[in-house]
């Protein structure tokens, strides 16, 4: 019998290799260009925060000031109660983030690993609320919070943002990728559902929890409309409302405005850079099984 020759991989010709290299180089150049376009406004903001007002809009742009004015970062804390605004924002953001991680992961475990009547109907109904813009029901929410006596309090914002359909969806999709046999083995060993959720599911879901932390932290920290509606006293306002107050009072102090914007951006960068190694993994893993 004659041996059938095995199929060999086609060798890449020098012309084909050069085309592949050219394609990769072009792709890298496009990615670098898009990245530069996205980063450019932030670099301009950082540069403007170290300049005098007359230097901010000078042309051509001087990206590195000859005499950086670090005094802008001192004066911004003295001209408005920025420390109070940062404290209020951090307080609301941290509490909301912790509550969303707890409620979303807890509800997602029930929808992913437990069997109860109308589970899928309830899940679809809850997830459908994502399609409803907040602006549609913000007036009924405000009336409800006012009737509860929570108007002009941080508790109103915390209660309204402690639950999120997006977080439940994100965590549920991740939990669906965890084998059911793992939960069954834990039940055989005598664990109840609370112990399975706390000891098994939460340690395995660090990527999804990190992803949800980034989304929740950024959304709550940058929230403008919610605090604008519910908070009227200056001592209760958040940093986004504080920046708006500063702009309305000192509209020509561009260097100070940019300095305050940089201060408001720093916590978001810290959180994202701390959790970014889990971010891509969390996004990718939430769609493995559904």
pLDDT score for 213? 92
Looking at the fold, whether 117 and 157 belong to one and the same domain comes out as yes
Which parts of the chain fold into alpha helices (H)?
14-48, 53-56, 72-79, 82-113, 119-127, 134-147, 154-161, 165-176, 180-188, 193-196, 202-204, 206-221, 225-230, 239-249, 254-285
Tokens linked to 214: 């980034």
Residues in the chain: 290
Looking at the fold, whether 43 and 93 belong to one and the same domain comes out as no
* Boundaries of domain holding 214: 72-285
pLDDT score for 27? 86
pLDDT score for 167? 92
Looking at the fold, whether 76 and 182 belong to one and the same domain comes out as yes
Looking at the fold, whether 271 and 153 belong to one and the same domain comes out as yes
Looking at the fold, whether 145 and 184 belong to one and the same domain comes out as yes
Looking at the fold, whether 164 and 244 belong to one and the same domain comes out as yes
Residue 55 domain flag: no
Query: Is 231 within 8 Å of 256 (Cβ atoms)?
Result: no
Question: Per residue in 113-148, pLDDT tens?
Answer: 888 888 889 999 998 988 888 888 888 899 999 898
pLDDT score for 239? 92
**DSSP label at residue 162:** S
Percentage of the residues of the chain whose pLDDT score is greater than 70: 91
Instruction: Give the separation between CA 185 and CA 180, rounded to whole angstroms.
Output: 9
Query: Is 267 within 8 Å of 221 (Cβ atoms)?
Result: yes
Question: Per residue in 159-169, pLDDT tens?
Answer: 999 999 999 99
Residue 100 domain flag: yes
Residue 8 domain flag: no
Residue 19 domain flag: yes
Looking at the fold, whether 122 and 19 belong to one and the same domain comes out as no
Instruction: Give the separation between CA 143 and CA 150, rounded to whole angstroms.
Output: 10
Given a cut of 90, whether residue 104 has pLDDT beyond it is yes
Looking at the fold, whether 23 and 123 belong to one and the same domain comes out as no
In the numeric block, the tokens 């908070």 are attached to 231
Question: Per residue in 144-154, pLDDT tens?
Answer: 998 988 888 99
pLDDT score for 5? 53
Given a cut of 70, whether residue 1 has pLDDT beyond it is no
Q: What is the CATH number of the domain that holds 94?
A: 1.10.3720.10
Given a cut of 60, whether residue 2 has pLDDT beyond it is no
Residue 258 domain flag: yes
Residue 230 domain flag: yes
- Computed over every residue of the chain, the mean pLDDT equals 85
For residues 280-289, average pLDDT: 53
Confidence of residue 66 (pLDDT cuts 50, 70, 90): confident
Looking at the fold, whether 214 and 126 belong to one and the same domain comes out as yes
pLDDT score for 250? 75
Question: Per residue in 238-270, pLDDT tens?
Answer: 999 988 888 887 777 888 888 988 999 999 989
Residue 57 domain flag: no
Looking at the fold, whether 34 and 92 belong to one and the same domain comes out as no
Given a cut of 80, whether residue 283 has pLDDT beyond it is no
Residue 9 domain flag: no
Given a cut of 70, whether residue 46 has pLDDT beyond it is yes
Given a cut of 80, whether residue 235 has pLDDT beyond it is yes
pLDDT score for 257? 87
Confidence of residue 279 (pLDDT cuts 50, 70, 90): low
pLDDT score for 289? 47
In the chain, how many domains are there? 2
Looking at the fold, whether 172 and 41 belong to one and the same domain comes out as no
pLDDT score for 285? 53
Looking at the fold, whether 18 and 106 belong to one and the same domain comes out as no
């Amino acid at each position: 019998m004659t041996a059938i020759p095995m199929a060999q991989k086609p060798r890449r010709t020098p012309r084909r290799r050069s085309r592949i290299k050219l394609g990769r180089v072009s792709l890298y150049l496009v990615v670098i260009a898009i990245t530069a376009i996205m980063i450019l406004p932030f670099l301009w903001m950082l540069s403007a925060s170290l300049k005098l007002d007359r230097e901010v809009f000078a042309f051509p742009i001087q990206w590195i000031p000859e005499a950086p004015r670090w005094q802008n970062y001192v004066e911004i804390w003295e001209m408005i109660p920025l420390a109070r605004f940062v404290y209020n924002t951090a307080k609301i953001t941290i509490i909301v983030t912790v509550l969303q991680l707890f409620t979303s992961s807890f509800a997602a475990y029930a929808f992913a690993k437990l069997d109860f009547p109308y589970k899928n109907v309830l899940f679809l109904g809850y997830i459908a609320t994502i399609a409803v813009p907040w602006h549609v029901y913000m007036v009924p929410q405000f009336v409800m919070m006012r009737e509860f006596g929570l108007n002009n309090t941080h508790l109103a914002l915390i209660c309204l943002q402690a639950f999120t359909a997006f977080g439940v969806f994100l965590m549920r999709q991740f939990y669906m990728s965890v084998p059911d046999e793992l939960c069954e083995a834990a039940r055989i060993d005598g664990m109840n559902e609370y112990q399975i959720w706390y000891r098994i599911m939460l340690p395995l879901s660090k990527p999804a929890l990190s992803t949800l932390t980034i989304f929740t932290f950024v959304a709550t920290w940058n929230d403008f409309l919610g605090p604008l509606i519910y908070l009227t006293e200056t001592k209760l306002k958040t940093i986004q409302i504080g920046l708006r107050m500063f702009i309305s009072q000192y509209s020509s102090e561009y260097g100070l405005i940019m300095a305050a914007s940089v201060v408001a951006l720093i916590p978001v960068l810290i959180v994202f850079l701390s959790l970014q190694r889990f971010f891509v993994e969390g996004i990718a893993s939430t769609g493995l099984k559904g």
